[in-house]
Structure 1
Amino acid sequence: MFGGFFDKLKGGLAKTRNSITERISEVLNLAIVIDDELYEELEEILITADIGVETSIYIIEKLKKNIKDNKINEPAQVIPCLKEVIIDILDNDENGEKILKLPKVILIIGVNGVGKTTSIGKIAFNLKNEKYKVLIAAADTFRAAAIEQLEVWCKRADVSLIKHQEGSDPAAVVFDAVQAAKARKVDVLLCDTAGRLHNKKNLMDELAKIGRVIKREYSEAVMETLLVIDATTGQNGVQQAKQFMETCPVDGIILTKLDGTAKGGVVISIKKQLNIPVKYIGIGEGINDLQVFNSKDFVEALF
């Protein structure tokens, strides 16, 4: 990854790094031997950094095994070993692969306030820069501001928007967007959706209906559903993801606001507990600040 973004990633993960890596370094600097007490301290650091209990225990178990297998007895050598364990958790996915199978429809789901509309704008901008032809569907007809916000982003990214009136049927918007995408030979159609988790039945019906429209009208397109989670919510984000997964299939996660939180460890937790890859991470307000997730870069920046 080019230097500029890696530096940004490092900057964006500063709070998380303070809550994980610096504390781990302190513990290891004071440690004389690698023993159970040391492992317990490391586990506690991981849990308090929002990696979650289950994932933290798993990491420490793997770490113990690696340290034993490699006959490591110097506390200073624990960090490289820990990095390997974390990369291993994050790495087993085919990131960025699906984008090449065109045409493609990406459904963006998530509760309100997590940065859904902003993420759509930024993804559109990224794809446009990579010379893909992009179209956006404003299928969150529930919130008037969502349509207006998308219009602003479409102007910034220089992408067309298909919209209806507030309160209209989201599936009808998607239907029109699909017809437009086919007529204009669009590569990627991005669909915004309403983010109402408290009314799960409605949301389920709505997403199912949208899915049916896409399958029926645009069977040649690859369909992908990405869930937007706000990193500042930490483990609550994992719970949110579980609820959405009961509603519809989720192919990947967009994790926003990583730069504003010490809970960046939730990336590891999401992958381990839900087995869904993190596809994009947001580390700033700028239009370039949503980037394709790279596990090695993430772990390097974290440490």
Structure 2
Amino acid sequence: MKVGLGNLAQKIRRLLGGQAPLDETFFSALEELLIEGDLSLSTAESFCTQLRNAARTRSVHTEDALRTLFAEIMESCVRVTHLAPNPNQCSLYLLLGVNGSGKTTSAAKLAAYYQTQKVHPILFAAADTFRAAAAEQLAHHGAQLGVRVIAHPGGKDPAAVVFDAGEALRAQKRGLLLVDTAGRLHNKTHLIAELQKIDRIAQTKVSADAYRKILVLDATTGQNAFRQAQTFHEAIGVDALLLAKCDTRARGGAVFSIMQELGIPLAFLGWGERYTDLVEANAREFVSSFLHGER
């Protein structure tokens, strides 16, 4: 799995490994590269300021020392969270995001992951009632994984699906419900209002500490990912990020800005089509992937 691939990583390595003095020209060049990597201006400026101050304090003189220092600075800003359902109670994870971000596939990968963690039973809620193939796709994953799918064939009310799925979960007295919602553009007010209704219903089905809202982001989205996260966070409060499609030549830098400016932690990284193509986020590996183009 790779994030931050291609020429960008090479440019950053070349800049940090060069003989140029650590002057304003150097930091301006670094700031431009970070913005090219999809970090916001504010986050890029913050990283450069921290590097400037730390390099002066530590009297950094070698290439390796500078690279290590910058990696440490970026790593210190990475927020990572571990989502572990309590096996003895009911938990509900709501997956949200824009169209095409990879929510349905991510729901399947999460189910496979939590099966390895001995979470049982696991249920799917097919709350994407807009896309005709969504319920069929989730049903296919359910059949492959042995996961029950709660759906309303032909229904148009996703909140009703979540209500019924929540009741099915509570009847089990324990387990995990993964809710696959419709992709919704972050600038469509009525769709955000619908998500808020789903959120209100979900809150009534499990205890507060067992309910998590996971924003699925497409790693190829670029800086627009920050705006998406900001809107969803303002609407219902996002608990964690799942960065999908990390096997592309995506940079994934917007996640740094989301973590630093919005305080939303990263939980998972996904790639590929296999159910096992999902890992828990690791701060050091995520930074290394961004700076060096490999994990």
Q: TM-score, normalised on structure 1? A: 0.88
Q: Which residue of 2 aligns with 1:223?
A: 211
Using the TM superposition, name which of 50-59 and 199-208 deviates more: 199-208
Equivalent residue number for residue 113 of structure 1: 100
Structure 1's 75 and 167: CA in aligned 2 closer, same or farther, altered over 3 A? same
Question: How far apart are residue 112 of structure 1 and its match?
Answer: 1.5
Query: Retained in 1: the 8 A contact 2:215–2:240?
Result: yes
2-side partners of 1:42 and 1:123: how far apart?
A: 36
Residue 247 of structure 1 aligns to which amino acid in structure 2? A
1:193 Cα deviation after fit: 1.4
**1:233: how far off?**
1.0
In structure 2, C-alpha distance between the alignment counterparts of 1:42 and 1:215, rounded to whole Å? 44
Amino acid aligned to 2:82: G
Q: Offset of 1:215 from its aligned partner?
A: 3.0
Counterpart for residue 192 of structure 2:
204
1:182 aligns with 2:174: no
Displacement of 1:277 in angstroms is 0.7
Q: Contact 1:108/1:227 (CA < 8 Å) preserved in 2?
A: yes
RMSD: 2.1
1:73: which partner in 2? 61
Relative to total residues, which structure has the larger helix share, 1 or 2?
1
Map 1:25-104 to 2 at 5 A.
25-91=13-79, 93=80, 95-97=81-83, 99-100=85-86, 102-104=89-91
- Counterpart contact for 1:103–1:220, Cα < 8 Å: no
Change (3 A) 1:166 1:65: farther
Q: Secondary structure in 1 aligned to 2:220?
A: helix
Establish whether residue 292 from structure 1 lines up as the match of residue 280 from structure 2.
Answer: yes
Judge conservation of contact 2:258–2:264 (CA < 8 Å) in 1: yes
- Name the aligned partner's letter for residue 108 of structure 2: G
Task: Give CA deviations for 1:200-235 in whole Å, capped at 9, x if unaligned.
Answer: 343233223223323334447721111111110110
In 2: Cα distance, 1:137 partner to 1:221 partner: 20
Residue matched to 1:6: none
Tell me if structure 1 keeps the 8 A contact 2:242–2:269.
yes
Query: What is the number of residues matched between the two proteins?
Result: 289
Which segment drifts farther, 171-180 or 217-226?
217-226
Question: What is residue 5 of structure 1 aligned with on the other side?
Answer: none
SS in 2 for 1:233: coil
Q: Which amino acid in structure 2 is aligned with residue 216 of structure 1?
A: T
- Report if the CA contact (8 A) 1:122-1:157 is conserved: no
Deviations 1:216-264 (A, max 9, x none): 3444772111111111011011111122223211111111112212322
Compared with structure 1, are the counterparts of its residues 215 and 50 closer, same or farther at alpha carbon in structure 2 (3 Å cutoff)?
closer
One-letter identity of the residue aligned with 2:53: K
Pair 1:130–1:202, CA change in 2 (3 A): same
Comparing both chains, which one has the higher relative contact order based on Cα–Cα distances under 8 Å and sequence gaps of 6 or more?
Answer: 2
Inter-partner Cα distance in structure 1 for 2:19 and 2:41? 23
Q: Is the 8 A contact 2:86 2:210 kept in 1?
A: no
**Shift of the alpha carbon at 1:56?**
0.9
Percent identity for Structure 1 against Structure 2 = 37
Cα contact 1:33–1:73 (8 A) shared by 2: no
The Cα shift of 1:145 comes to: 0.9
Closer/same/farther in 2, CA of residues 171 and 43 from structure 1, 3 Å limit:
same
Distance 1:236 1:172, change over 3 A: same
- Say whether the 8 Å CA contact 2:267–2:281 is kept in structure 1: yes
Q: 5+ unaligned residues in a row in structure 1: which ranges? A: 1-8
- Alignment equivalent of 1:256, drawn from 244, 250, 264: 244
TM normalised by structure 2 equals: 0.90
SS at match of 1:250: coil
**Are the counterparts in 1 of residues 5 and 251 from structure 2 also a CA contact under 8 Å?**
no
For the residue of structure 2 that corresponds to 1:276, the secondary structure is coil
Rounded to whole Å, the distance in 2 between the matches of 1:231 and 1:51 is 13
Would you say 1:233 and 2:237 are equivalent positions?
no
Q: Could you tell me whether the CA contact under 8 Å between 1:33 and 1:75 is conserved in 2?
A: no
Of 128, 131, 137, which residue of structure 2 is paired with 1:140?
128
